[in-house]
Amino acid sequence: MLRARALPEDGSPEDTFETLAALGNLNRNCFDKLRNPAYLDIAIDYLEKAANQTPLGHSIRLGIFRDLGLSYRRRFEVTHETRDIDSAIAYHAQAVTLSPDKSDPSALTHIGHLGNSHLRRFEYLGEVPDLNNAIACHSEASSLTPDGNHYKCGMLHNLGNSYFLRFKLLGQAEDMDLAISCYNQAVILAQDDEPKKYKMLLGLASAHKAQFDRLGERMDLDQEPECSNKALLLVPHGHFGRPKVLVASGDSHLRRFEILQDQLDLDQAVTCFSEAIDSTAIADPDYPSVQNKLVRLYRTKFDNTGDITDLERALKLGRDISSLSSRHNAHWPNVLGGLALSHGE
């Protein structure tokens, strides 16, 4: 484990707090790579000491507050200790206060960090003021960031997430419209090589699903699978996020098939769920659910086409499910139902 080496006796005070800050960030980077929470404890210890030793008005002070906020938020995501997310919010707020020009790119980043920390606390405690603060921060950061800035798409995505959460909590139509608008802008601004673009597309797909459930408009029914399919194109085989995107795409086609009864949607859902099963570990908690959906889809295909191959596939999958499941598995009743359907009972 990394530890600070003793500083030379003739080291200047500036060397001391700058070295402490550097050691703090080094340990946080170690946590990011190794996921050992002990590195976060050490990082926070160094950064707190650096903050205490840094003279008021020194330029490095703002960066130390930012790094403390990020470190406390990371530790909260490990420990779920409320005091950690409280500290993260406090330090990010200080970084925002110390920023001389709120339109400066670094200041906008601090505002975004503050919004993200409020959002994390809302997700844990469910207090509406945190969600409102997250929206205020993300809205300010995205509105002040020029379109050519690399980070704007992420800011808009975060703002869309915040509006979507508030819609699900309070049911206000305006929040849903704003969520879809933000997701759309994020997707338009993000380059295809942006690592999180597929998540932006999945967020937009989820918002269109919720909008369809609310209004029943055909456009939203079509937009959900369209966005999911675009997300799928951005995650190649072997990408850690591909199974999740496959399930999302399969679900979107399944929903549209259940409403429109279009065979193309049924075939696409089968393709997505089949690949998802092939690329998902058996121990994954979603594995039985996806298998059961596929059993029912193969049975539906058999009912529609009379192709005995589809019935045989349903039976084989059903046997696989029964061998992997137990009566204590949450999906067991659905598994039994799928098997019964596959046997024509």
Q: What are phi and psi of 101, to 5 degrees?
A: -130, 110
87 inside domain: yes
The domain boundary, picked from 87, 120, 144, lies at: 144
Residue scoring higher pLDDT (151 or 131)? 131
Q: Which of 144, 166, 185 is the last residue of a domain?
A: 144
From 117, 144, 171, give the residue that closes a domain.
144
Per-residue model confidence (pLDDT) at position 337: 52
Q: Is 216 helix (H, G, I), strand (E, B) or coil?
A: coil
**In-domain check, residue 221:** no
Q: What is the mean pLDDT of residues 20-39?
A: 93
The domain that holds 72 is classified in CATH as 1.25.40.10
- Rounded Cα gap, residues 41 and 88, in angstroms: 14
269 and 257 Cβ atoms separated by less than 8 Å: yes
For 80, residues 6+ apart whose C-beta sits below 8 A from its C-beta are 124
Is 215 a domain residue? Answer: no
The pTM of the full predicted model, rounded to 2 decimals, is 0.82
The mean of the pLDDT values for the chain is: 88
In whole angstroms, what is the distance from residue 266 CA to residue 250 CA?
Answer: 9
Among all chains, which residue has been given the structure tokens 């790119």? 105
Cα 223 to Cα 212: distance, rounded to the nearest angstrom = 10
Is the residue at 268 inside a domain? no
Residue-wise burial string across 231-242, b where 16 or more C-beta atoms lie within 10 A, e elsewhere: bbebbeeeeeeb
Kindly report, residue by residue over 253-308, the tens digit of the pLDDT: 999 999 999 999 999 999 999 999 988 776 677 788 898 999 999 999 999 989 99
Please classify residue 57 by burial: count the beta carbons closer than 10 Å to its beta carbon, then call 0-12 exposed, 13-18 middle and 19+ buried: exposed
Radius of gyration over every alpha carbon of the chain, rounded to an integer in angstroms: 25
The pLDDT of 201-222, averaged and rounded, is 98
> Alpha carbon of 279 to those of 47, 272, 290, 294, 335: distances in Å?
41, 11, 12, 14, 21
Its domain, for residue 90, covers 1-144
Domain for residue 159, yes or no? no
Least confident of 39-53, 171-185, 330-344: 330-344
Q: What is the pLDDT of residues 117-138, one digit of tens each?
A: 999 999 999 999 999 999 999 9
Q: Map tokens 């029964």 to a residue.
A: 322
Q: How many domains does the chain have?
A: 2
> Token pair for residue 36?
């050992």
**Helix, strand or coil for residue 1?**
coil
